[in-house]
Amino acid sequence: MIYTEEMRASQSRVEATRNLRLSEELPRFTAEEKDVLLKQFHPDYHEEGFTRLSVGPNKGDQVPSELAVLLQGKSRMDEADVDVDHIQFETDVLVIGGGGAGAAAAIEAARHGAKVLMATKLRLGDANTGMAEGGIQAADKEHDSPAAHYLDAMGGGHYKNIPELLAELVLRGPEAIQWLSSLGVLFDKDSDGAMVTTHGGGTSYKRMHACGDYTGAEIMRVLRDEVRNAGVDVIEYSPAVELLLDGDGQAAGAVLYDFDTQEYHVVRAKSVILAAGGAGRLHYQGFPTSNHYGSTADGLVMAYRAGIPLLYAGAIQYHPTGAAYPPQIYGALVTEKVRSLDAMLVNKNGDAFLHPLETRDVVAAAIIRECQERNNGVYALHGQAVWLDTPMVDLIHGEGTMEKRLPAMIHMYEKFGIDIRKQPILVYPTLHYQNGGICIGAKSETKIPGLYAAGEDVGGIHGKNRLMGNSLLDIIVFGRIAGTEAAAYSKTA
């Protein structure tokens, strides 16, 4: 394998990040270099496919056209069919969304004495949480610190992160890991019982805590059980379609649409938590996605329609390594953990063209550049793609590492007769994460009294580009804050 000059520069940047002292500037690209790379090659920066909003609190902002249609469109509720005075369910706290953020919120609200109702679009646990593979970040190791975690996330997020939100995230990281462990999440440990941690893109320390390569699935398994244990009522296959406000403009519940009966249900609640997830299934600009089928920006749309501004709604994350082959798993996540274990990205000439643990936006942009501008990709299903050298993991870390650290990935490919321990795989960026979303404060509150938000439908925590493992952390941290605050609010309402 040949290292290109760009790869060497990239390598020293990543190495410098890891030797960073807190007082120093992050050795990322210069603003100019980054601008050139992103403007030319990152899909976010294609003017085409974006629309300027003409109505609502974000009037004038550019957002993906598929999202603009929903934000500015008609209500999904047919008003003639809904009598908002005919109340089917009453509760203290209504949680909208059945993923990790919604579950953490519901558990915490119930623990604080509130009667909690959770409405989910699909089944409880059908969410992007369960599809996150590689790990959850928290600075709870010797030498590491929340301050280093903060700097990494700020640098990765183009310094656009909201400082109060990011501070809350990193400071509560260690507690989040303890909370999950206490509920029964089985994190990987070494023979001395210490947590095994790895690097992710843009991290200065190894702070990725994982459960093999099915971290999100393990977390969701435990949260799902705990929601039931906490006595939360769950209504499945019933997405919320519109928020309800009372005469004073306070949150008062929501209207659900029951997929089974095809009827609307009115829920009255003293406080409401929006945790309705991301938007990958809108397939912006025709991109494939790593997201689950329910990810259609529901939280963003409901909040926007209620007059809440969105932050960075045009900032979308393309995970650099989606499966480009075989067709059955086109766009599925190939976890960043493969690159954390030193697998390289290689073009058709055998060149390693970028350090694989640069931040996600930079790696995705470089892959797109290799394939689209330089014609250095390998022909795959829907155009060119690059190699991810998976056998290298066993080569560097010893045979058996793949089985131990990446069992789900081996299994996913085995179904199609591909042994990733022996052959590299083809990858291309896939639509992965909604970086932007609902504006909240550090108590997960929105500008509407009694309305809280958490999880992927929120914007600002990660700025314009999230680092790996920080969303599994944010759903726990802000889910729990939202649950606690909404329960307290419901007692005053």
Place of tokens 């379609």: 241
211 belongs to the binding site for ligand MEZ (CB under 6 A): no
Binding range to ligand MEZ, per CB under 6 A, among 81-89, 132-140, 422-430, 450-458: 132-140
d(CA 101, CA 455) in angstroms, rounded, equals 5
Shortest Cβ distance from residue 435 to ligand MEZ (Å)?
Answer: 11
Comparing CB distances to ligand MEZ, the nearer of 135 and 331 is 135
Comparing CB distances to ligand MEZ, the nearer of 336 and 394 is 336
436 belongs to the binding site for ligand MEZ (CB under 6 A): no
Shortest Cβ distance from residue 469 to ligand MEZ (Å)?
Answer: 5
The contact pattern for ligand MEZ, residues 354-393, with x = CB under 6 A and - = no contact, is ----------------------------------------
335 belongs to the binding site for ligand MEZ (CB under 6 A): yes
- In the beta sheet, which residues pair with residue 93? 116, 271
Comparing CB distances to ligand MEZ, the nearer of 76 and 397 is 397
Q: Are 298 and 277 in contact (CB under 8 A)?
A: yes
Shortest Cβ distance from residue 198 to ligand MEZ (Å)?
Answer: 11
Helices marked H in 212-336: 215-229, 298-305
The pair of three-digit structure tokens given for residue 120, joined into one six-digit string: 């989910």
Comparing CB distances to ligand MEZ, the nearer of 446 and 471 is 471
The pair of three-digit structure tokens given for residue 124, joined into one six-digit string: 């409880």
Q: What is the 3-state secondary structure (H, E, C) of 17-35?
A: HHCCCCCCCCCCCCHHHHH
For the chain, give the number of residues: 493
Comparing CB distances to ligand MEZ, the nearer of 251 and 473 is 473
The values of phi and psi at residue 346, to 5°, are -135, 135
Comparing CB distances to ligand MEZ, the nearer of 266 and 472 is 472
456 belongs to the binding site for ligand MEZ (CB under 6 A): no
d(CA 191, CA 152) in angstroms, rounded, equals 29
**Within positions 176 to 205, which residues make up the interface with ligand MEZ, using CB under 6 A?**
none
463 belongs to the binding site for ligand MEZ (CB under 6 A): no
Shortest Cβ distance from residue 396 to ligand MEZ (Å)?
Answer: 19
Beta strands at 451-453 and 263-274: parallel, antiparallel or unpaired:
parallel
Binding range to ligand MEZ, per CB under 6 A, among 294-302, 323-331, 333-341, 410-418: 333-341
Radius of gyration of the chain (CA): 22
Shortest Cβ distance from residue 466 to ligand MEZ (Å)?
Answer: 7
Among 468, 476, 482, 487, binds ligand MEZ (CB under 6 A): 468
Comparing CB distances to ligand MEZ, the nearer of 434 and 471 is 471
Binding range to ligand MEZ, per CB under 6 A, among 55-63, 130-138, 295-303, 367-375: 130-138
**CA nearest to 241, candidates 312, 314, 307, 296:** 296
Q: Are 310 and 58 in contact (CB under 8 A)?
A: yes
Among 130, 173, 469, 483, binds ligand MEZ (CB under 6 A): 469
The pair of three-digit structure tokens given for residue 10, joined into one six-digit string: 């990239």
CB atoms under 10 Å from CB of 171, counted, come to 15
Look up residue 100 and give its amino acid.
G
152 belongs to the binding site for ligand MEZ (CB under 6 A): no
337 belongs to the binding site for ligand MEZ (CB under 6 A): yes
212 belongs to the binding site for ligand MEZ (CB under 6 A): no
- In the beta sheet, which residues pair with residue 427? 323, 386
Binding range to ligand MEZ, per CB under 6 A, among 268-276, 334-342, 407-415, 442-450: 334-342
336 belongs to the binding site for ligand MEZ (CB under 6 A): yes
d(CA 284, CA 306) in angstroms, rounded, equals 24
Report, as residue numbers or ranges, the catalytic residues.
319, 339
What is the CA angle 474-480-481, rounded to 5? Answer: 90
135 belongs to the binding site for ligand MEZ (CB under 6 A): yes
- CA 234 vs CA 149, 165, 277: distances in Å: 35, 29, 17
The residue sitting closest to ligand MEZ, measured at its beta carbon, is 134
The pair of three-digit structure tokens given for residue 222, joined into one six-digit string: 């435990």
Among 64, 99, 134, 429, binds ligand MEZ (CB under 6 A): 134
- CA 438 vs CA 106, 305, 332, 342, 463: distances in Å: 19, 11, 26, 36, 13
**CA nearest to 412, candidates 202, 223, 192, 214:** 214
Size of the site for ligand MEZ (CB under 6 A): 12
**CA nearest to 434, candidates 460, 400, 406:** 460
* Sign of the Cα pseudo-torsion (282, 67, 126, 441, in order): positive
412 belongs to the binding site for ligand MEZ (CB under 6 A): no
Shortest Cβ distance from residue 333 to ligand MEZ (Å)?
Answer: 6
Binding range to ligand MEZ, per CB under 6 A, among 103-111, 117-125, 128-136, 140-148: 128-136
Which spans of this chain sit near ligand MEZ (rule: CB under 6 A)? 132-135, 333, 335-337, 468-469, 471-472
